[in-house]
Homo-oligomer: A and B are copies of this chain.
Amino acid sequence: MIAEIIAVGSEMLTPFRQDTNSLYLTSRLNELGVQVAFKTIVGDNLGHLTGAAKIAIARADIVIFSGGLGPTEDDQTREAVGEALGLGLRRDNEILTAMYKRFAARHMAMPPNNAKQADRLEGAEVLANANGSAPGQYIDTVVGRHRKIVILLPGPPKELKAMYEAECRGRLAASLPERHMAKRMLRMALIPESQVDARTAPIYQQYSDVETTILAGSGEIQLHFQCVKASDAEAQARVDELAEKIEAEMGEAVFSSHGEQLEEVVLLMLGLRQMTLAAAESCTGGLLAERLTAVPGSSRYFVGGAVVYADSLKTEFADVPEELVRSDGPVSKPVARAMAEGIRRRTGASVGVGITGIAGPGPGAAGPDAEKPIGLVYVAASFAGESKTKVVELNLTGDRERIRFWASQHALDLLRRSLLERA
């Protein structure tokens, strides 16, 4: 059982816009045991669209179109599918009435163009659109001797998702063999993909009934597990068993066993320990604070801090002695330590974190930093009531954006590991 997803719209054939609906649809189809074998992106051109529809109907069992159901002349998905399947289009009075009502409810007259959205393909079921005027269509038919399911969905993601959930998931599930799938994700930070694979492959290869996917990117590795069994409980048990064995192997490298983000994990750990956090950031320029405060409810555990980009602010807001900046340079172990300790004291937080480094593309400032390489970053964490402040030296590679992101990632992971020790 394979599927093809066709995204319709000339804007997705420009350098500016990309199809994103297919990621969502793929995830939903996979849950039902359907693999996506092809994705096609085609413009608002009836000939191209009809050709693509014919090809897809020939090579896939399930074909889902997104887009091209609007009221303009450019919107031709209905016509193309009709042509490809040899089905006529009839204006449907029920749809038309519903559309008039929808407009009337908003005290608007329906523009005459919209009437074409009421054109229904012969034999198609109408899929209600809770968030827009274009209804979808669902066709379950036989072509040659093969059963084909063809679904027309609107392009706007909000409309498409709501329509899939309400109108398609159940219909598709009823047409497909019953299926019980469990999923799970482990996340690890700051560890090379090759190492994760070398250590985990001997384990996951013993679970041939669990599909394991390793994804690397943005300073973390994700392990996705997926298993299909006769019952949900059986599938879940296999996935959990494998995940636990891999957690045991990878130990502290695993920061999340149910998919939480690193910043969420740090906030949760602070909450469990009734601790609060403050940050003094130089090279990351607020990125760490931004990541933490992006989490709803973070204000309970993150009090804030300072972006001490200029050297004078390191003294003003984090009590870093001026002579320390002069003697060791702003990018140095002692300054990172002083930043972490200073911001903790100044804010009254239980934990202070300090980040200073050279993000590039230009070199460090004159004085002691002039000879230091781009990518050199120091991250420090200071805990109230403890005299020893941990400082980590990093030598990061890549461009400014990557160096800043990885520096914030290392700071979060240092916090996580430090909090683990204080369980």
- Quick check: A24 and B13 within 8 Å, CB to CB? no
Interface residues in A279-312 by Cβ distance below 8 A to B read 279, 281-282, 284-290, 292-294, 296-299, 302-310, 312
A36 adjacent to chain B (CB < 8 Å): yes
Q: Which residues of B contact A59 (CB under 8 A)?
A: 48, 51
**Chain B hits for A308, CB < 8 A:** 304
Q: A304-B308, A309-B302 are in contact. Are A401 and B40 (CB under 8 A)?
A: no
For chain A residues 6-48, which have a beta carbon within 8 Å of chain B? 12-18, 20, 23-24, 26-27, 30, 35-43, 45, 48
Report if A306-B296 is in contact (Cβ < 8 Å); known contacts: A15-B30, A37-B45, A286-B289. no
Q: How many residues of A contact B (CB 8 A)?
A: 70
A269 CB to closest chain B CB (Å) equals 18
Beyond A15-B30, A347-B316, whether A303 also contacts B310 by CB under 8 A is yes
Are A294 and B400 in contact, CB atoms less than 8 angstroms apart? Answer: yes
Q: How far is the CB of A34 from chain B (nearest CB, A)?
A: 11
* A166 beta carbon closer than 8 Å to chain B: no
CA distance A103 to B171 in the complex (A): 54
Question: Is A132 on the interface with B (CB-CB < 8 A)?
Answer: no
On whether the beta carbons of B309 and A303 are closer than 8 Å, the reply is yes
Q: Are A27 and B15 in contact (CB under 8 A)?
A: yes
- Inter-chain contact B285/A292, CB cutoff 8 Å: yes
Q: Which residues of B contact A302 (CB under 8 A)?
A: 309
Let me know if A205 is at the binding interface, CB within 8 A.
no
- A306 and B309 contact, CB distance less than 8 A: no
Residue of B nearest to A295 (CB): B400
Find out whether the CB atom of A306 lies under 8 angstroms from the CB atom of B307: yes
Chain B residues with CB under 8 A of A306: 304-307, 317
Choice from B13, B20, B35 contacting A36 with Cβ under 8 Å: B13
Residue from A16, A18, A285, A348 having most chain B Cβ neighbours under 10 A: A285
Contact with B along A364-398 (1 / 0, CB 8 A): 00000000000000000000000000000000000
Please tell me if the beta carbons of B43 and A40 are within 8 angstroms of each other in the complex.
no
CB atoms of A13 and B41 under 8 A apart: no
Given contacts A14-B213, A38-B52, contact A362 B304 (CB under 8 A): no
Which residues from chain B contact A199 at a C-beta distance below 8 Å?
A: none
A281: nearest chain-B partner, CB-CB: B286
- Give, as a whole number of angstroms, the nearest-CB distance from A268 to chain B: 17
- Max count, chain B CB within 10 A of own CB: residue among A36, A304, A316: A304
- In the complex, what's the smallest C-beta–C-beta distance from A318 to chain B, in angstroms? 10
Among the listed B13, B18, B305, which residue makes an inter-chain contact with A37, where contact means beta carbons less than 8 Å apart?
B13
A14 to B26, CA, bound (A): 6
- CB neighbours of A347 from chain B (8 A): 310, 312-313, 316
A381 to chain B, nearest CB (A): 17
Residues of B within 8 A of A23 (CB): 15-16, 18
Let me know if A346 is at the binding interface, CB within 8 A.
yes
Given A13-B35, A15-B30, A298-B309, 13 more pairs with CB closer than 8 A: A12-B39, A15-B24, A16-B23, A48-B59, A284-B293, A285-B298, A286-B287, A289-B290, A293-B307, A303-B310, A303-B313, A310-B347, A317-B317
A: which residues have CB within 8 A of B? 12-18, 20, 23-24, 26-27, 30, 35-43, 45, 48, 51-52, 55, 59, 213, 215, 224, 279, 281-282, 284-290, 292-294, 296-299, 302-310, 312-313, 316-317, 346-348, 360-362, 400-401, 404
